[in-house]
Amino acid sequence: MTDRTATRACAPAGSGPDRSDRGVTRQRPHYAALDGLRGLAAISVLLFHLGHWQGHPWLAANAGLAVDFFFCLSGYVLSVAYRETLDQGMATRTFAVLRLVRLMPLVILGTLISAAYLAARIVLLHDPAISVAELTRATAFGLLCLPMLDASRAIGGPQVFPLNGPQYTLFLEIVVNIAWAALRRIDGMGSALAIVAAGYALMALVGIGGDEVASFWTGLPRVFGAFYAGVGLYHAQSGFAPIRDARWRFLFWPLLGFSALLFYWPQGLSFWVGWSWSLIVSPLLVLSGAHVVLRGRVARASAVLGALSFPVYALHYPIFVWINAAYQAILGSRSFAVGTGLALPGVLIASWLILRWWDEPVRRAMTTWLRTRAPQRVANGV
C-alpha cells in the first residue's frame, strides 16, 4: 500500500540489543513492559497482514502503525545501550557488524524459506510464470538484505523485497542504525528534534510508503522521524529531570488501551490520525513504558513476548505462504477462518522453535567468532 492511509508491512520487532551483543556494550536497563508491548505489537502486525493477504482488511486494520513504535523504541534503546560506548570510541563499522549479527540470521532464514516455496512451485506445479534465473537473483538480493527494484509479480513484485515483503523495514532499520552511529558526533537534542520535524513534515507531504518500487524512498522520512523521536527521548531524559520522573508510568496503561483500540478498529483510519498517533502517542508509550516495573508472571510473559517479537515479524510471511498453500492443497479451497486459525498459532510456534534452535545459537556462535577473531576491536570498538 503506497498511499497515505495504510502500510502493508511494519517495522522490525527485534530492534534493540540482545544477549548476542550485550557482552560488548554496557548493560542496558531491562524494560520489561516495552518488551511485552513489542511482542503484542508484532502479533498485531501478523494479524494485520493475515487480514490483508486473505482479503479481510478489517482484521487489526490499523496495526500498520506499529512501525512507528518499533522504530521509536529502536532509537531509544540503542541510544541507551550504545551511545556511551560509541562516544568512547567504538567504530561505526564495529557497531554495524553487531547490528547485522542481531538482524541477519532471521533475514537469511526468511529469504530461504520463501525461496524454497517458490522453488517448490516450479518443481511440483511447473509454474511457468516463475523464472529460475529471477528467483535466484531475488534470493541473492534477499540474503544480502538489498532491495530488488525490478521483480515481476510472479515472485512478489513490485515489492522491493519480493520474497518477504516486510523485510523492507529491516533494510531501513539497518540504514538508520548505521546513519545514527556514523553521525554521532553531531547527535544531540537539537539535531534529533530537527530530524523528527523534517521526517514528519515530509511524511505529511508524500505519505507513507517504502515497500514498493514506486514509493521506496518515502519510507525514509518515516523511519528517520520515528527513530530520532526515540533518540530525542534519550537526550531529554539525560538533560531534563522531569522526563526522568517515575510518574510517567501512570500514562502507560491508558495509552496502551487507546493504542489497542486504534490498532483493532475495524475500519482504516485517516492518515492524519495515524500521523498524530505516531508523533505524539508512540513516543509517550516508549517514555512511560520505560518507567513501568513488572514482576512475577507478568514480567515473565513480557519476556517471552519480547523474545518472540522479532522472529514473528521477520518470518510471518515466509511461514504463512507454506501454511496457506498446504491447507488449500488439502481442502481444495480457500477459507479465511481456516487460514487464520492455522497461520496464527503456526507462526507463533514456528517462531519460538526457530528462535531457540536457529536464531539464538547462530548469534551466539557469530559473537564468539568475532570475539576470537578480533577481541580488542569488539570489546573496545577500535
Q: How far apart are CA 311 and CA 106, in angstroms?
A: 7
Interval 89-93 mean pLDDT: 92
User: Per-residue pLDDT tens for 43-89?
Assistant: 999 999 999 999 999 999 999 999 899 999 999 999 999 999 999 99
The model's confidence at residue 18, banded by pLDDT at 50, 70 and 90, is: low
Query: Please, is 286 exposed, middle or buried when counting C-beta atoms within 10 Å of its C-beta (0-12, 13-18, 19+)?
Result: buried
pLDDT of res. 17 = 61
Q: How far apart are CA 14 and CA 34, in angstroms?
A: 12
> Higher confidence at residue 163 or residue 7?
163
pTM: 0.91
Contact 207, 232 (CB under 8 A): no
At 194, the amino acid letter reads A
Q: Residue 212 forms beta bridges with which residues? A: 159
- 44 closest CA partner among 382, 379, 364, 348: 348
At 26, the amino acid letter reads R
**Average per-residue pLDDT for the chain:** 90
Q: How far apart are CA 235 and CA 77, in angstroms?
A: 12
